[in-house]
Amino acid sequence: MDGRVDFSGVDVSASEVPRAKLVARLGRLMGLNLTMPDMGTYTRYDFKNVFEKFSRNQRVTYDGLKAFISSLFTDHDSNSVEEISECLHTKGADGLKEDDFKLIWDNFVAKILNPVSAFVIVDVQNDFISGSLALSGCPAKEDGAEVVPVINKVLDSVPFNYVFYTYDWHPHNHISFHSNLSLYKDKLIVPSGEDWKSVGLFGNVKFDGKPPLEQTMWPDHCVQGSEGAKLHKDLKVKESAIFVYKGSNPAIDSYSAFWDNGEICSTGLLDELTKRDVTDVYVCGLATDICVNFTATHACKHHFRTILVEDACRGVDNTAIQETKSKLSEMGALIRSSDNIEQLVSGQEIPSKLGLVAAQNFRRKFLIK
């Protein structure tokens, strides 16, 4: 076999995977000459050529799978390649049959070569920039307005599949407002009795509930329909954008763009991402160590490949900002600057750390009963 596959006249099927521009690159990585017309798809014929290259006696052994996996990534993290191979290969010494390998091709390879991206812009609202909760007045003394030109540049230059804007969107009687503490004093566990009167602005309390929740008592901010709740006037808003509103239940706060703080009620973001088959979630905005933190954490927990765009974020406390980045990295997220995400979004850069998340998702869906 000469390693050449001609796709002329191929019958395009629904199982094919969009990513024509990666065919030649994939072929070069694996020493194959893969060619195709301008239909913009992978086909089963790609899969069969690769299967024949890496199989012996119509089986792909563990070592063969590892060699194939290693060829996919643009970095050389041998530990991640080993972990990925262990996630995907469950057939022991017998190796993977053609149907086993096809399952991996369709549900792992396709996803890492053809990622579906969402850019989630968190709470770039006036009150966090120049209003009642301006970050410039917080311990880190960061200027929330600085994220605006960075985000705008990203929106202009990076081809995300979807863009989301989130709003902190509180009713005037919200439980997180210090000015409303007297309205909710009967729900307090800590402090008890009349001690609620001693709780100052930014003080921490605990409210009864299922589950009981700690709450920082904030100044009134991002009240629905107010000037402070609007996005910064210079922030570009994509015409096709999707908007997510959080914190609208007066009885519970919502730092995450996915869930309220008790993880009881969803904002709808998870459903929106899932129905669009999003694989990769890029998170930025305000504030790094609070709402961005909770949003990116939930993205990881929901098994999205998660990327924090760090120069498009500003935060409250320097120590907490660093702790947020360390935690997210440990959860499998990438921490990147805005200048280093375009090739990730396009699928030209394929880091093994994100590949591991995709492999774990494959194992969770197909191999763990």
Contact status, residue 223 vs residue 243, Cβ threshold 8 Å: no
**Among this protein's residues, is 291 annotated catalytic?**
yes
End-to-end distance of the chain based on CA atoms, in angstroms? 39
Q: How would you label 234-257 residue by residue, b for 16+ Cβ within 10 Å and e otherwise?
A: ebbeeeeebebbbbbbbebbbbbb
CA distance 95 to 342: 37
H-assigned helices in the chain: 23-29, 44-54, 62-72, 78-88, 98-104, 110-113, 126-129, 147-157, 269-275, 291-301, 318-330, 342-346, 352-366
CA distance 153 to 155: 5
Pick the catalytic residue: 66, 111, 185, 246? Answer: 246
Helix-strand-coil split of the chain, %, nearest 5: 40, 20, 40
CA distance 218 to 216: 6
**Among this protein's residues, is 48 annotated catalytic?**
no
Pick the catalytic residue: 222, 291, 300, 313? Answer: 291
What is the bridge-based pairing of β-strands 162-168 and 242-246? parallel
CA distance 256 to 198: 29
**Among this protein's residues, is 123 annotated catalytic?**
yes
CA distance 25 to 348: 9
Nearest to 73 by CA among 363, 349, 343: 349
Pick the catalytic residue: 46, 123, 280, 289? Answer: 123
Taken in order 78, 110, 243, 300, is the CA torsion positive or negative? negative
CA torsion angle for 237, 238, 240, 241 (degrees, to 10)? -50
Active site residues: 123, 246, 291
